[in-house]
């Protein structure tokens, strides 16, 4: 059995205006189906102890999180080792519901951008209003970073988590690194 490794081996860069770190492996499960369906809601609640989030939000408690991806798609975060158990549980409870559950843990990469200028870094790359008034803890935004799709949320003040395709990991890390260069703060937030 080969060892599981994250895309960039947990690379970190902290010289600039914000610290950019690749997060360790994260269990991720994509759930597609009617998000207002009672059976689906119940099944999700049973495995994560979390309610299905409303439009463009993220519900996060401890090691579990639910991200609203689209009207019929959720992204579920869980410990990397428990993906198989969660898949089995969800598949069992959603057997008769029109839905899809798939393990995408190794298909995505998460970066953490932290520091007082974390918002500046994202503002340079995404066509999104990320001012403290418009974007707060609990919101989940799918958009793009320069030329690739990505999504981000703020688990705490001055911390932005960015999720992208694993195959884009090097590109996104380089982007974040350049956008976080020394002396390049925007000083607008």
Partner 1 sequence: MLILTCPYCGQKSEETEFHSGGEAHLKRFGPGSTDEDFQEYLFVRENPKGVHFERWRHIYGCGKWFHAARCTTTLEIFGTYSAQTVKPPKELRDKISAKRPGWSWRTYP
- Footprint of partner 1 on this chain (CB under 8 A)? 55-56, 68-71, 73, 127-128, 141-144, 149
Tell me the closest approach of the beta carbon of residue 140 to partner 1, in angstroms. 10
Residue 25 or residue 146: which is nearer to partner 1 going by CB? 146
Cα distance between residue 171 and residue 189, in whole Å:
26
Q: How far is the CB of 80 from partner 1 (least distance, A)?
A: 26
Cβ at position 155, least distance to partner 1 in Å = 20
The Cα 58–Cα 68 span in angstroms is: 6
| The two three-digit tokens of residue 63, written as one number | 């090691």
Q: What is the DSSP letter of 57?
A: B
Burial of 14 (0-12, 13-18, 19+ CB in 10 A): exposed
What is the C-alpha to C-alpha distance for residues 12 and 156, in angstroms, rounded to an integer? Answer: 19
Nearer to partner 1, 108 or 115 (CB): 108
Nearest-approach distance from CB 1 to partner 1, in angstroms:
35
Nearer to partner 1, 46 or 102 (CB): 102
Give residues with Cβ within 8 angstroms of 92, minimum separation 6.
Answer: none
Cβ distance to partner 1 smaller for residue 144 or 166: 144
> What is the closest distance, in whole angstroms, from the C-beta atom of residue 14 to partner 1 in the complex?
29
- Distance between CA 11 and CA 79 in Å, rounded? 20
Query: Closest CB to partner 1 among 37 and 73?
Result: 73
């Amino acid at each position: 059995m080969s060892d599981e490794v994250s895309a960039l081996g947990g690379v970190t860069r902290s010289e600039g205006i914000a610290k950019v770190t690749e997060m360790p492996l994260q269990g991720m499960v994509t759930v597609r189906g009617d998000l207002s369906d009672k059976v689906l809601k119940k099944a999700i609640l049973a495995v994560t102890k979390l309610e299905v989030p409303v439009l463009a939000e993220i519900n996060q408690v401890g090691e579990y999180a639910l991200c609203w991806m689209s009207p019929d798609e959720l992204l579920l975060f869980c410990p990397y080792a428990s993906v198989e158990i969660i898949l089995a549980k969800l598949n069992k409870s959603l057997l008769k519901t029109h839905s899809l559950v798939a393990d995408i843990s190794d298909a995505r990469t998460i970066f953490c951008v932290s520091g007082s200028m974390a918002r500046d870094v994202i503002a340079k790359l995404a066509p999104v209003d990320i001012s403290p008034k418009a974007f707060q803890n609990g919101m989940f935004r799918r958009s793009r970073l320069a030329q690739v799709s990505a999504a981000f949320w703020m688990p705490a003040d001055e911390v932005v988590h960015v999720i992208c395709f694993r195959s884009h990991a090097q590109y996104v890390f380089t982007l974040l690194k350049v956008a976080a260069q020394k002396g390049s703060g925007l000083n607008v937030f």
